[in-house]
Structure 1
Amino acid sequence: MDAAEALALLMSPEGRADPYPTYERLRAHGPVVQAGPVFYVVTGHDEADAILRDPGFGVMDDVLRDRFLPGWRNSPAVTSISRSMLRTNPPDHSRMRRLAAGAFTPRRIGAMRDVVTAQADDLVDTMVARAEGGEPVDFMADFAYPLPVGVICALLGVPAADRPLFRRWAADLTGVLEPEITADELAVADSGATELRDYFTDLVAARRHTPADDLTSALVRVHDAGDERLSGDELLANLVVLLVAGFETTTNLLGNGLAVLLEHPREAGALRDHPDLAPAYVDELLRFDSPVQLTTRVSGVDTRHGDVDVPAGAWALVLLGAANRDPRRYPEPERFDPWRAQLNPLSFGAGPHYCLGAALARLEAQVAFPLLLRRLPGLAPAGRPRRRTRLTLRGYDTLPVTIDTRAAAPHRGTPAGAAPATP
């Protein structure tokens, strides 16, 4: 199978369901392989890391969108993403990123541990209450989504009552991040983008009238200062992206990670007994089944990577999920091994576009997995989970589990025998 055929397989329903065998077909052609006239696929860890850090590569700009996506300005989904830090290059990217970075400093993230722990404990209480009748519960709906959405909404100042709205809107919008999208899928993404933009238009107006101690109020103040640091379109676009990116990746990390731990009871038991191992476990879970599988870059100059000449104007499909299983860096990469000495997975990217919320996502997972294993020792899979039909954002739609409510440990600070919180 040549590289172009393997790439076509990767984009198929079969390839999306389990991309890892196809990554190996592509890797057989080299860490960087040409798969089209100006299209290159990157599977090597070091090569992916170098390209993501190379200032000669950037994300698609308006000129390229006009060339390859005629009519994109009529798409709410594409325009929303394109005006955010996610799809802009320096200096605009650097300017917008600096404005939001204050909410994600190590000190502020570290101070959130107790809040994340309390929310996770409450969600476990709810799962136990739902399982009292012996029926399975959906881990994605009852824990993996509400934990990160609650955390990012608190940072943004989104009222708790509004949080259930965002799962569908975000799922619709993120279709535009896929490497291929049909007209029908784009229409769905446009609908999600419109709903999200309308919501944040109202929230911005509310925070302008009544400021609060949240990131939305801070960005509104920057915009209203009138010094051109943040335009109106950029304000709304970045609020949308901060919300969506703030929970989509972490939701998938929690779902993918729990599925792996349930398949590896020995390793799960070690984490239950030694929660201080959580940072290494989370990095290995990120490597083993990354919640973000790919990103794209465009070369602005003639360059060379992986012994392959890449001309200016070429597209690079950087397969993060493949790079995380490069055997040159990770011996036996198909084996889940939280005791690996060298990790540095590329799941959050690298270089200027390294995920702004990576430390927050890691914190949530480092809290969640030991807590789940400690409080729910009888946690087990129940039936067949359903994967999302996406490649860029890899995760589950549903992940049913059973809970042995008799073995469930009480909430810390809750007297033994006290009733858990009701849903």
Structure 2
Amino acid sequence: MASSPDESAAAIIQALVSPAGRADPFPLYAAAHRNGAVQAITDTVFLVVGYAAVNQVLRNPGFALPSDPTDAGDAAALRLMNRSILRTNPPDHGRMRSLISQVFTPRRVGALQPTVVAAVDTLLEALADSGADGRTVDFMDRFAFQLPVTVICELLGIPMADHHQFRPLASALTAALELTGDVDGPADEAARELGKYFTHLIGERRTTPGDDLVSALVAARDADDARLSDEELLANLILLLVAGFETTTDLLGNGLTILLDRPDLAVAVRSGQITTAAFIEEALRYESPVQVTTRVASADGLVVEDVGIPAGSDLILLLGAANRDPARYPRPDRFDPTRADNKPLSFGAGQHICIGNNLARLEASVAFPRLLDRFPGLSADPGRQPVRRDRLVLRGYQTLPIRVRA
């Protein structure tokens, strides 16, 4: 099926998990598209790269999440993920997600807009102070992390004094999501630390409930129907925290890098010639914060793009490649916010679509225009290069040095 031995599906996956592939996966995605939308790595392992094919798999309940809560061994990180909606399948997934959705409502998300605006304005003032007299500021540390962690902690009811500890813990925990991720060591320790923190917080909210998501979920857990176990409550609260800022942090950093590289786009977004919503959707397509997900064929007779998938097969879905499928998006490697019908798969699709995708879009829609208005002279630091996180699945920056001029 491959056009040449070095462009086989197996070779592409091997290259993607290398340091060079993690740094720049897009040439490998282009090579994968030349081989077809669905490619066999082995008889029971498939690489799925086409937009229509990935979308089909994500929406077909016959393709399940690769989860087995009984097979996590002593790895706390894996056990934690396997008990949350991130890794559970029906009927457990629907049971838990419906309960979380009852409290993580569009009304509750919409009501956060004043909080988002206030947080953005506070962080912009801090950026102005830190970057006074031309001093370099790390956008990732001073803004891209601070904004979403402030918002998700406000939603969960976590004290501001505790925010600083979550970035290193989340970074360690999410390393277990990588295709070659280590679920022991730092990831395991991070899972244990977060578990201790939320166990204490759950106990506090049982005694003194508030108007926050933790209190609402604790109340739901303690209701007579008991639709959420203690372990599931803990796992999903940690997931909401980590997922609540990890992808948004990457969206903000990736989006700003695009604007710094294309000053004409910054002018167009600032003036309203390009809508913020259109810019955000194209940023999600062009530099997806989540590049890879996986599925398992849980039924017989499954077919994707005319390729039969035997039951029990593993599928590697390259979301980043699907978002750059030339069959779906003409000139896919060009950043073009005027694209029609732009529907990136960055947050997934179907029953497992990211539950916080609207919150991420809300934060970005407030942050980008206010950032551009506040700092029309915003620029990259010519003497310091940004540093990407050494990840494939979660794509973003570790540091992004900028200079601000009010």
Equivalent residue number for residue 398 of structure 1? 399
Structure 2 length normalisation: TM-score?
A: 0.95
Equivalent residue number for residue 160 of structure 1? 160
Equivalent residue number for residue 255 of structure 1? 253
Match of 2:78, SS? helix
CA distance in 2, matches of 1:200, 1:99: 19
Structure 1, gaps ≥5 residues long: 67-71, 409-423
1:278 aligns with 2:284: no
Equivalent residue number for residue 309 of structure 1? 308
Match of 2:228, SS? coil
1:388 aligns with 2:386: no
Equivalent residue number for residue 94 of structure 1? 94
Alignment of 1:58-97 (within 5 A): 58-62=64-68, 66=71, 72-97=72-97
Deviation at 1:24, TM superposition (A): 1.3
Deviation at 1:226, TM superposition (A): 4.5
Contact 1:320 1:346 in 2 (8 A): yes
Equivalent residue number for residue 414 of structure 1? none
Residues 373-401 of structure 1, C-alpha deviations (whole Å, 9 max, x = no match): 11111111112000001111100000000
Which residue type is aligned with residue 38 of structure 1? T
Between 1:185-194 and 1:321-330, the stretch displaced more is 185-194
Alignment of 1:128-277 (within 5 A): 128-182=128-182, 186-274=184-272, 277=275
CA distance in 2, matches of 1:266, 1:220: 48
CA distance in 2, matches of 1:367, 1:103: 23
CA distance in 2, matches of 1:103, 1:45: 32
Deviation at 1:107, TM superposition (A): 2.9
CA distance in 2, matches of 1:224, 1:235: 10
Between 1:242-251 and 1:103-112, the stretch displaced more is 103-112
Equivalent residue number for residue 323 of structure 1? 322
Which residue type is aligned with residue 130 of structure 1? S
Alignment of 1:13-32 (within 5 A): 13-32=19-38
Residue 296 to residue 374, structure 1, CA distance change in 2 (3 Å): same
CA distance in 2, matches of 1:206, 1:276: 46
Deviation at 1:228, TM superposition (A): 2.8
Match of 2:184, SS? helix
Contact 2:268 2:274 in 1 (8 A): no
Contact 1:223 1:235 in 2 (8 A): yes
Equivalent residue number for residue 361 of structure 2? 362
Which residue type is aligned with residue 359 of structure 1? N
Which residue type is aligned with residue 37 of structure 1? D
Deviation at 1:78, TM superposition (A): 0.4
Equivalent residue number for residue 3 of structure 2? none
RMSD: 1.3
1:337 aligns with 2:336: yes
Identity of aligned residues (%): 51
Which residue type is aligned with residue 172 of structure 1? A
Contact 1:104 1:360 in 2 (8 A): no
CA distance in 2, matches of 1:33, 1:305: 10
Equivalent residue number for residue 294 of structure 2? 296
1:12 aligns with 2:18: yes
Residues 171-198 of structure 1, C-alpha deviations (whole Å, 9 max, x = no match): 000011111124xx63110011111100
CA distance in 2, matches of 1:194, 1:242: 16
Structure 2, gaps ≥5 residues long: 1-5
Contact 2:254 2:397 in 1 (8 A): yes
Residues 176-221 of structure 1, C-alpha deviations (whole Å, 9 max, x = no match): 1111124xx6311001111110000110011111100111011111
CA distance in 1, matches of 2:158, 2:92: 26
Between 1:216-225 and 1:321-330, the stretch displaced more is 216-225
CA distance in 2, matches of 1:118, 1:102: 26
Structure 1 length normalisation: TM-score?
A: 0.92
Contact 2:103 2:217 in 1 (8 A): no
CA distance in 2, matches of 1:275, 1:251: 25
Q: How many residues align?
A: 397
Residue 8 to residue 89, structure 1, CA distance change in 2 (3 Å): same
Q: Post-superposition, which runs of at least 4 consecutive aligned residues in structure 1 deviate over 3 A?
A: none
Deviation at 1:111, TM superposition (A): 2.5
CA distance in 1, matches of 2:29, 2:400: 25
Residue 270 to residue 103, structure 1, CA distance change in 2 (3 Å): farther
